[in-house]
């Protein structure tokens, strides 16, 4: 019976309904998806193209999408402007790298442990706490700027290094996504480990974490983008120049240059945008296979 069923499924696949390799019936998918993929790549292509445009192409009318005469002068102007900074550029870059690494690691730890408790542990107000987290998904960052400032001020975090990290630990979307992912793990797996005498820490480290790697990769990308590109904290909460981030520095550099020299400022801004974008792109490419697993898992649920 099982053999006949397998042969029937294999025959269906070989007939083109769901072929394992390329089949002429798949052309309709390529016709639909390839133009869509090219369209979605256009912003990335524009960022690269825009960074290498000479001044006459930056201000050309009508605007040109692709660069015709590429140049690296925008980058040389950017680096020469960096060399005149009172604080070494390496300090801003070090701050951004350290803040991003610590925020990503801490956010994953907080989100995954909280999600494990909400998914697999029994305690009162569990549903209420998760409902509060779900409601928090509706608030955009600008809507909580004033309450966040008041809380940070009361905690004495103004002009400290921790102000870059602590607000980024509570990610409602991270807790929500990982909790939904852990819900897909059978309770019997956790109960079997508890019968064998495993503690909650051991269950979390040896069972839960390996099974939610795709969700962790997705949260890592989201946290990385938020931490690496964040210039608002340096603007609102930091007074010391040595505690500010690379994103803030580039934003200030391009804005001051644009005020003094509009032509040079546009080129420097284009080069700075590419420099800030590249780490996001590289990090996503490294983890994109795990992200695809997360999306497919969420679709199955």
Q: What is the pLDDT, as a whole number, of residue 6?
A: 42
User: Has residue 102 got a pLDDT over 90?
Assistant: yes
* Residue 27 covered by a domain: no
Q: What is the pLDDT, as a whole number, of residue 113?
A: 94
User: Has residue 117 got a pLDDT over 90?
Assistant: yes
Q: What is the pLDDT, as a whole number, of residue 94?
A: 92
The domain of 122 spans 88-262+278-300
* Per-residue confidence band for 296, with pLDDT thresholds at 50, 70 and 90: low
* Residue 49 covered by a domain: no
Q: Is the peptide bond before 71 cis (omega within 30 degrees of 0)?
A: no
Lowest mean pLDDT among 8-22, 71-85, 193-207, 251-265: 8-22
Q: Is the peptide bond before 62 cis (omega within 30 degrees of 0)?
A: yes
* Residue 3 covered by a domain: no
The position carrying tokens 């956790």 is 190
Q: DSSP letter string over 3-34?
A: HHHHHHHHHHHHTTSS-SS--GGGHHHHHHHH
Q: Which has more pLDDT, 266 or 190?
A: 190
Q: What is the pLDDT, as a whole number, of residue 237?
A: 92
Q: Which has more pLDDT, 15 or 149?
A: 149
Q: What's the average model confidence in pLDDT over 145-153?
A: 90
Residue partners of 72: CB distance under 8 A and separation at least 6: 52
Angle at 266 between CA 261 and CA 272, to 5 degrees: 120
The total number of structural domains in the chain stands at 1
* Residue 119 covered by a domain: yes
* Residue 2 covered by a domain: no
* Per-residue confidence band for 19, with pLDDT thresholds at 50, 70 and 90: low
Q: Which has more pLDDT, 103 or 16?
A: 103
Q: What is the pLDDT, as a whole number, of residue 216?
A: 92
Q: What is the pLDDT, as a whole number, of residue 268?
A: 83
* Residue 269 covered by a domain: no
Calpha distance 269→264 (Å, rounded): 9
Q: What's the average model confidence in pLDDT over 64-85?
A: 84
CATH code for position 201: 1.10.3720.10
> pLDDT tens, 237-270?
999 888 999 999 888 877 665 544 566 678 888 8
Q: Which has more pLDDT, 265 or 183?
A: 183
* Residue 80 covered by a domain: no
Q: What is the pLDDT, as a whole number, of residue 292?
A: 62
Handedness of CA 94, 279, 160, 220 (dihedral sign): negative
* Per-residue confidence band for 77, with pLDDT thresholds at 50, 70 and 90: confident
* Per-residue confidence band for 175, with pLDDT thresholds at 50, 70 and 90: very high
Lowest mean pLDDT among 77-81, 132-136, 204-208: 77-81
Q: What is the pLDDT, as a whole number, of residue 264?
A: 61
Q: Of 151, 175, 174, 172, which Cα lies nearest the Cα of 163?
A: 151
Alpha-carbon separation of residue 156 from 37, 74, 94, 236, 239 (angstroms): 48, 41, 24, 14, 14
* Residue 25 covered by a domain: no
Residue partners of 200: CB distance under 8 A and separation at least 6: 116, 121
* Per-residue confidence band for 9, with pLDDT thresholds at 50, 70 and 90: very low
Average pLDDT, the chain: 83
* Per-residue confidence band for 297, with pLDDT thresholds at 50, 70 and 90: low
Q: What is the pLDDT, as a whole number, of residue 118?
A: 93
pTM to 2 decimal places: 0.81
Q: What is the pLDDT, as a whole number, of residue 256?
A: 64
Give the pair of three-digit tokens for residue 69: 């005469």
């Amino acid at each position: 019976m099982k053999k006949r069923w397998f042969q029937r499924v294999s025959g269906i696949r070989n007939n083109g309904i769901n072929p394992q390799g390329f089949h002429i019936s798949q052309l309709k998918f390529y016709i639909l998806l390839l133009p869509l993929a090219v369209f979605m790549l256009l912003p990335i292509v524009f960022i690269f193209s825009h960074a290498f445009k000479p001044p006459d192409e930056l201000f050309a009318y009508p605007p040109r999408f692709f660069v015709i005469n590429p140049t690296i002068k925008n980058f040389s102007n950017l680096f020469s402007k960096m060399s005149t900074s009172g604080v070494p550029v390496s300090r801003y870059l070090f701050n951004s790298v350290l803040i991003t690494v610590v925020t990503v690691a801490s956010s994953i730890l907080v989100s995954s442990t909280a999600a494990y408790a909400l998914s697999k542990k029994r305690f009162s107000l569990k549903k209420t706490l998760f409902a509060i987290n779900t409601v928090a998904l509706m608030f955009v960052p600008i809507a909580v700027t004033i309450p966040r400032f008041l809380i940070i001020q009361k905690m004495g975090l103004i002009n400290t290094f921790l102000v870059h990290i602590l607000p980024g630990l509570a990610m409602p979307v991270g807790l929500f996504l990982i909790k939904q992912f852990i819900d897909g793990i059978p309770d019997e797996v956790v109960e079997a480990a508890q019968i064998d005498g495993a503690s909650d820490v051991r269950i979390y480290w040896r069972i839960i974490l390996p099974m939610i790697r795709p969700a962790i990769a997705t949260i890592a990308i989201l946290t990385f983008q938020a931490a690496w590109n964040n210039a608002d904290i340096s603007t609102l909460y930091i007074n010391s120049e040595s505690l500010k981030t690379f994103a803030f520095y580039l934003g200030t550099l391009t804005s001051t240059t644009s005020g003094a020299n509009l032509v040079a400022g546009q080129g420097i801004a284009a080069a700075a945008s590419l420099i800030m974008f590249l780490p996001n792109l590289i990090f996503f490419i490294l983890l994109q296979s795990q992200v695809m697993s997360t999306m497919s898992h969420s679709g199955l649920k």
